[in-house]
Amino acid sequence: MASLHASLLLAAALCALASSGAAASRDLRPLRAGFVVRGRVWCDTCRAGFETPASTYIAGAKVRVDCRSKTTGVKTCSFEGHTDRTGTYNILVADEHEHELCESVLISSPDMRCAKTVPGRERAPVFLTSKNGVASNVRMANALGFQKDVALPRCAQILKVYEDEDDRV
């Protein structure tokens, strides 16, 4: 009787093991938890509209990733994050967003002296699908910018370098 009970228990264990292996072998693709949207937030200290050697990066800036339906334009999801001490944000976004338009958007700056968004640099598109040939789940967004109310005094000299470069071309 004990031998029959042990045999039945062994058979049940083998069946359970075999069925779990069969289920796991159906889909061998790695599970994707989502994506990490990475970017930086900078302060345009020269009010140039682009990053210069005088630009600084803002710690504690609030950024959001918004996704909208490509067909209806209705917001489908939103994920928020903050920049670290280097002005870099890493926002975890769940799921696949192949049929959505997603973008990083500036929300706020902790630096009231640099809190007005730079026109055209307040949002950046990000493509959040694994069906675009990118192997990594990290998606880079263009830098987002706030600007000072008044440019730093040394900016005139810095911007002159860019004017000289444009004149030579």
Q: What is the pLDDT of residues 10-27, one digit of tens each?
A: 444 444 444 444 334 344
Residues of the domain holding 132? 35-167
Total domains present in the chain:
1
Which alpha helices (H) appear in the chain, and where do they start and end? 2-25, 155-168
Contact 145, 121 (CB under 8 A): yes
Identify the CATH number of the domain in which residue 155 sits: 2.60.40
86 found inside a domain: yes
* Whether residue 132 has pLDDT greater than 50: yes
Q: What is the pTM of this model?
A: 0.76
What band does 168 get if pLDDT is binned at 50, 70 and 90? low
**What is the phi/psi pair of residue 66, to 5°?**
-110, 140
* Whether residue 169 has pLDDT greater than 70: no
pLDDT for the residue numbered 164: 56
Q: Give per-residue pLDDT as tens, 81-105.
A: 999 999 999 999 999 999 999 999 9
